[in-house]
Chains A and B, each alone.
Chain A
Amino acid sequence: MSESKFKYQGVGREYQKKLLTAWNDRLQSAESDGRKVAYLFVPGNVAEFLRVFDFELVFPEVNALQCGVRKISGDYILKAEDVGYSPDVCGYVKNDIGMMLAGNVGPSGHKIPKPDLLLCTYCGCTTFIKWFEALAHYYDVPLVLLDIPYLRGSVIEETDRQYIVQQLKELIPLCEKMTGNKYNHDKLVEITKHAAEAEDLWVQILHSAKRKPSPFDSYFEAVFFMAPIYILRGLPECTDYYREAMKEIQERIEHGVGPIPEEKFRVVVEGPPPWPHFRSFWELLKRWGVCAVASSYSKVGGFWDHGFRHDPTRPLESIADYCLTCYTNQNLAMRTDLLKTYAEEYDADAILIHSVKSCRSFSVGQADMREQFLRKWDLPTLLVESDLADPRYFQIAQLRNRIDAFFESLEHKRLVHA
């Protein structure tokens, strides 16, 4: 690739970094500037709602994943185990507690402000509740739980939607009192408008992977490209980011290039990445010319690619729908169907399940899914195990063997059928 030909190369990554640094700077000065800080989870994050009151938002999961990428999660996890956490509980929780005990300096070197409000969006993970109860225990600040019913059927029930809307309304007085800012419906409308614009663009990027070769890796690249839609959704700079990122993708399409030199296999990926060994894991797949054309992990903080958008004409209801449909909140049958649908929509050769010990919310059921893909739909499926935060569980030799054997056999099948 010559530089002149690729004007936008790396824009997605670079611009994202710039935005996150600015966000971290803002967080660092929040306490001294008297701005209120709310902690919340990525799945079911009601960022639009909280922005009405000008809360600064901290996402402990994002800190945890960044600690993983920077390979400091292992030490923090041990610190948490020192105060009594079991080796068998979620590594994200332990990373966060360990980091807090070590002085709460974030992975990028920024000081993370203390929470004024812990808003636990109970969206598909019960460990979320335990995590924020622990933070409430250590920080001694109010914890409010936004109860998001897990999808029991395959559609949104009006009662579930209204329950969330009611809870948001009930939350208004507390937010007003805490921040001194009044609830402002017009402002919420404006914010959801921005959110929907960014969502449109993000979906265009995701859908671009339907092309052959795919210009975009929907797992290994998506995890960076998706950060703004989780962290900055509702702000104009978020939309701006996706406009720029789209240019990069467009440029790749024009030149017929993608994330790997030659796309040989297209896979749908299920499960979070092994953050402390992100690069090595990717390399294991790149060797085989594997491109992830769709993934479920890029939907944990919002499931937009089948049509849902935040809706300025019914902002609270659409926030409720957003919470209810995040991938984490979808039941196993929906998840299984979705992965199969992705395999069809994106013309994938196989499904790759990265099953992580930390996250039972994700992993319990994946082995059964694999059985179904194989049995019902004859969809080649590889399930490998490690962890998203705890480096102790990443066994590279074992993973390499499994991955090599799987793609070798796919290659062989191809040759036989050719």
Chain B
Amino acid sequence: MTFEEQIQHFRGIVDDVSFPTVKEWKSKHTGGKVVGMFPVYTPYELPHALGMLPVGLLGAGGIIEIDHADSRIQSFVCSIARSTLELGLTDRVKDFDAVYFTSICDVARNLSGIWKANFPHQLVEYIHFPQNMESPSAVHHYRGELQRLLGNLEQLGGKKASADEVVRSIEAFNHNRSLCWRLHEIRQLTPWKLSTYEAYILLRIGTLLPVEEHTHILEGIIPLVESRETKQRDHVRVILEGSFCEQPPMELLQVIEEAGCYIVNDDLLLHSRWFTDPVPANGDPLLALAESYIQRSVSSSVRHYGLRSRKQALMNKVRSGQADGVIFSAPKFCEPALLDYVLFKDELEKNGIPYLAFEYEEKMSVFESIRMQIEAFVESVMFFT
């Protein structure tokens, strides 16, 4: 398959809400357990260490109608929460043995409660990520939380994970993350070689496959990308911010680029490069994961950083990406994104960086007005700054 054919092939898998890769994996692994991971970041290493398959549970991308979830979640809630529940209520995730939600927001947290009530046969976890980054006790507490999760998974799988097994999982994900970072670097340095849409598909397919397979795909594809002979265009360089949880329609990513932008940094599928450095693969592996979370992870609107400010992190992205502007693209009703927007835009204004903001929903299908807004934005950046 050519590069383009591979992307097309992966897109087909991503769009198939019956989770074909899960079915295939289960047919090959009798008694194997599958763990669904709601965004933004979850410790994929834990189920992996027990030979389980962690799978991204990222909504339905506007592919299915929301019928049943409507009576369970009100209309003023983001689409990923509603469509994820719809996937559950329509039996599309019945092959999953466990589901993880995390403390990214009140919606995701309460969705974990709704899930528990509606799918009692699944192990439903709500992970409390530490928010007090300054507290020396946070590492210890989060390590305990990881231990609890691992213990519950061990019970589910009927076997224990040794420290060595967790270390090997850490290594597997470290390697995978380094390749995801490489894709990211290609986007930053030579965005004409790999569109954001293509990069997105390459990362997204990783949420549906065993990490080793994904790593194998990336190892094969990165050299292809590097040697691609694509023409550099006269685009403006932008940072895409706000699309960290609910997945933006893929057409939206394409529209942004077609309208004249290179997205040189973004917060899409952040879990794939959550840690800025490899998680130490020696010593206590759970402690290593906990310390990495607190001390060496990327900035995101779903966590508090204490004195390390997210505004600063955004400005660093602008500088390191040599970006001309920022595009805020937030899911409708998403408080973490919408509340951060105000602080971010103030910071950009202070620094004279142009920005554009709009909201999306999974079901969105008409992009013309957004296209026009982006084109106008691109023009203003090109000619007036």
Chain A interfacial positions (CB closer than 8 Å to B): 83-86, 88-90, 93, 122, 125-127, 129-131, 133-134, 137, 144-147, 149-150, 152, 159-160, 162-163, 166-167, 170, 331-333, 336, 355, 357, 360-361, 363-368, 371-372, 385
Contacts and interface: CB of A to CB of B under 8 A. Distances in A.
A300 to B, nearest CB: 14
Interface in B102-122: 103-107, 109-114, 116-118
Interface string B133-154: 0111110110011000000000
Contacts, number: 147
B135 A90 contact: no
Contacts of B118: 368
5 contacts: A85-B339, A85-B342, A86-B359, A360-B76, A385-B74
Contacts of A332: 110, 112-114, 116-117
Nearest to A146: B132
Contact of B77 (A85, A129, A360): A360
Nearest to B333: A88
Interface in B318-353: 332-333, 335-336, 338-343, 345-346
Contacts of B10: none
B253 interface: no
Interface residues of B, number: 52
Contact of B109 (A84, A126, A336, A363): A126
Contact of B107 (A89, A122, A130, A360): A360
Contact of B138 (A129, A147, A160, A361): A147
A84 B74 contact: no
B94 interface: no
B131 interface: yes
Nearest to A330: B113
Given A89-B335, A360-B110, A166 B117 contact: no
B131 A147 contact: yes
Nearest to B334: A88
B339 A360 contact: no
Nearest to A167: B135
A366 B132 CA distance: 29
Given A137-B346, A145-B306, A371-B72, A126 B336 contact: yes
B229 to A, nearest CB: 43
A271 B339 CA distance: 23
A150 B130 CA distance: 11
A204 B128 CA distance: 35
B245 interface: no
Residue of A126, A144, A357, A366 ringed by the most chain B CB atoms within 10 A: A126
Nearest to A328: B106
B7 interface: no
A92 to B, nearest CB: 12
Contacts of A166: 135-137
Contacts of A367: 71-74
Which of B71, B138, B304, B340 has most chain A Cβ within 10 Å?
B304
A170 B133 CA distance: 12
A147 B306 CA distance: 11
B166 interface: no
Contacts of A133: 304, 343
Contacts of B332: 88
B77 A364 contact: yes
